[in-house]
């Protein structure tokens, strides 16, 4: 058992509320940020196809948080043709650069993009279904 002198207390770090709400992920040289409205407009055509293909594989609102972890490469294979457009719009890079990205890096970046934006998509689908996110309560 450690005594008080052996235990070093780390200073408490105040988290910036904005940073928590709009988290960023660093993957290799790329910083992945949640979509802006403009980016969402750019990724929507690809996202619509991606979501359709994933739903064919069993994606639901209920398993959205775990689906990619459970399905892995099988899920990525289904969405591979749309992935460069999704990556390019999200990272604000040229489509050619996204298409030429190393396969492993592209898979991680694409998965991070989808996972990072899962919350807003899940909340949106709840609103469309007429429920208040996180409560299961119908919107009056």
The pLDDT tens digits for 48-84 are: 898 888 889 888 878 877 887 788 778 778 888 899 9
Q: Are 27 and 108 in contact (CB under 8 A)?
A: yes
Q: Write down the pLDDT at residue 124.
A: 62
pTM: predicted TM-score of the whole model, two decimal places:
0.67
Q: Are 79 and 53 in contact (CB under 8 A)?
A: yes
**Coil/strand/helix, residue 26:** strand
pLDDT beyond 90 at 89 = yes
Q: Write down the pLDDT at residue 6.
A: 45
């Amino acid at each position: 058992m450690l005594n008080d002198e052996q235990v070093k207390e780390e200073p408490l770090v105040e988290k910036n509320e904005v940073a928590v709400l709009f988290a960023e992920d660093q993957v290799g040289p790329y910083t992945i940020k949640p979509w802006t409205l403009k980016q969402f407009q750019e990724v929507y055509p690809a996202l619509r196809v991606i979501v359709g293909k994933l739903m064919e594989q069993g994606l639901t609102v209920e398993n959205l948080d775990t689906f990619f972890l459970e399905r892995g490469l099988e899920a990525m294979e289904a969405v591979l043709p749309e992935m460069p457009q999704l990556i390019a719009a999200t990272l604000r890079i040229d489509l050619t650069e996204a298409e030429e990205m190393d396969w492993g890096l592209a898979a991680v970046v694409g998965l991070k993009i989808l996972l990072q934006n899962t919350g807003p998509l899940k909340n949106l689908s709840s609103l469309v279904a007429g429920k208040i996110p996180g409560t299961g309560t119908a919107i009056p």
